[in-house]
Homo-oligomer: A and B are copies of this chain.
Amino acid sequence: MDNRTVGILGGGQLGRMIVEAASRLNVKTIILDAPNSPAKQINALTEHVDGSFSNPEDIEKIAAKCDVLTVEIEHVDVPTLQKVQKVHPKLEIYPSPETILLIQDKYLQKEHLIKNEIAVAESVAITEPSEHSLSQVGQKFGYPYMLKSRTLAYDGRGNFVVKSEASIPEALEVLKNRPLYAEKWAPFAKELAVMIVRSIKGNVYSYPTVETIHQDNICHLCYAPARVSDSIQLKAKLLAENAIKSFPGCGIFGVEMFYLENGELLINEIAPRPHNSGHFTIDACVTSQFEAHVRAILGLPLPRNFTSLSTSNTNAIMLNVLGDKSVKNKELQTCERALQTPGASVYLYGKESRPQRKMGHINIVSSSIEECERKLRFITGETDKPPCSSAVDDLETPIPGISKKPEIGIIMGSDSDLPVMSAACNILNHFEVPYEVTIVSAHRTPHRMSKYAIEASERGLKAIIAGAGGAAHLPGMVAAMTHLPVIGVPVKGSTLDGVDSLHSIVQMPRGIPVATVAINNSTNAALLAVRILGAYNPVYSGKMQEFLLKQEEEVLIKAKKLESLGYQSYLDGK
């Protein structure tokens, strides 16, 4: 696809997976790292450079041998990169040295993001580390707060949680001789991450928002997509995209962020390279983060949506495989269990096992995140029930009716509406549509209503039927808090013949529609719901066609009877 040679500073697992992706496109790669490093093991085509990505001479050596230079790690010698750029004006370096410089010093990174109005945790540089200066930070931020090395920090190394005034001396000892900054504690509910691809033109493309779970400050699990609401996934995506738009150069970027208990999103840190939180893309997306990087730095096509999950119901969990703390290679037992698990895929990096070293990762892919979790529990040894017997793997299509998951939610403002709304239940029973029915009052349980509306789509509901009377606010309010179609049933009250309810439901302002049916006609509300499902699900549209035919026949039979009997005896007959 491209005759240029890509040089990679660093030949660890990230470099290895970049090489794998490049080889599939017949793209030549050359690695700078120790002999026999993981990336070199799978590339016999070129003569690699033995040495270190932090050694100027070695960087100059590889620069002379390639057309495009990239990195698998940000802790590279940037001044040398800037120098070789001058020596080899034709050489393209991605990510740009300028960007690496901004990112490899985490405090510069923070200042850059703040300058670009990207939300980050409050932090302060520590010019002279001392008990005094750190206790001042304690007074400013309160305890605990994070003390971090500005440079060469990764997988928790270079971070210290200052729990109280008393732990300051230990903090100074642990991080001595390092350039430091302090960061206000972010009380996060979850950690999210988004992989962003930046094209040479500066367009950004984002992979699905994922959720990462750390152990001992090292990434342990990654859930794709993240187990948060669609709107939070979307917010995270936009935050990450805006952050990466602010950096020059191109390639793949990992953006880690905190999802705070108050719903806020703060960027934690950015990596200008493939990232652990993007390993799921190898199996869950058609184009992996590694191929995306290769395509970006070579200016190969990056079509819209090429970063999507493979299918509309792809779910994945990535599990890191770390060197066992006590017994060498014991971690392979986890891999063995993964091989016993259908839908799980093992990636080992060709490294010698050392405690806590990243030896490989395992991707689990399935049609549902619950299924992924079942498999994960077996792989981690939490359960010994092998998930192989799972029926989910066999099903080509979910069977409506069998599924426990409700597709339609029926809600009403009060149990007094039930006699009217029960007709909707009968219809959904008849069509074997899985549904749920409950009471949600706009005026008496406003928070319950919000929760119901906001969670509806996450729970798999495809439409909501809401019945209400009088100043009927339930359908409109629910419609305001979900993107699902909401069907409103005006329930006739003791006065005004239900015209009050009808107008309260149907006369919604521009922007928030409610699909309103006739007064007291919850039958039609349910039939409309079935039509909505039927628009995509042939099983339901088939049943709806039968239903319409049957209705027609019934009328024709009556017509025949009327014609044969004559109107008088027809009436008498009744």
Contacts and interface: CB of A to CB of B under 8 A. Distances in A.
Interface of A: 1, 20, 23-26, 36, 40-45, 225, 230-231, 234, 283, 286-287, 291, 295, 300-301, 303-306, 308-315, 332, 335-336, 339-350, 360, 363, 365-367, 386-398, 457, 462-463, 480, 483-487, 502, 506-519, 521, 523-525, 527-528, 531-536, 538, 541-542, 544-546, 548-549, 551
Given A305-B390, A516-B516, A312 B397 contact: yes
Given A44-B43, A393-B305, A462-B535, A230 B348 contact: no
Nearest to A554: B511
B312 A535 contact: no
Contacts of A342: 286-287, 303-306, 308
Query: What is the total number of copies of this protein in its complex?
Result: 2
Contacts of A311: 310-311, 313-315, 365-367, 394
24 contacts: A24-B346, A234-B542, A283-B310, A291-B345, A304-B391, A309-B394, A310-B311, A311-B365, A312-B395, A312-B396, A312-B397, A312-B398, A397-B536, A462-B536, A483-B531, A483-B541, A484-B531, A485-B535, A502-B506, A506-B517, A507-B519, A512-B527, A514-B524, A515-B528
Given A41-B44, A231-B545, 4 more contacts: A230-B538, A234-B542, A308-B342, A507-B518
A295 B342 CA distance: 13
Given A512-B524, A517-B513, A348 B24 contact: yes
Contacts of A303: 339-342, 386-388
Contact of A310 (B340, B343, B518, B549): B343
Nearest to A26: B348
A350 B394 CA distance: 34
Nearest to A531: B485
Contact of A532 (B308, B314, B340, B535): B535
Contacts of A346: 1, 24-25
A225 B542 CA distance: 14
A527 B397 CA distance: 23
Contact of A301 (B336, B536, B541): B336
Nearest to A284: B310
A526 to B, nearest CB: 8
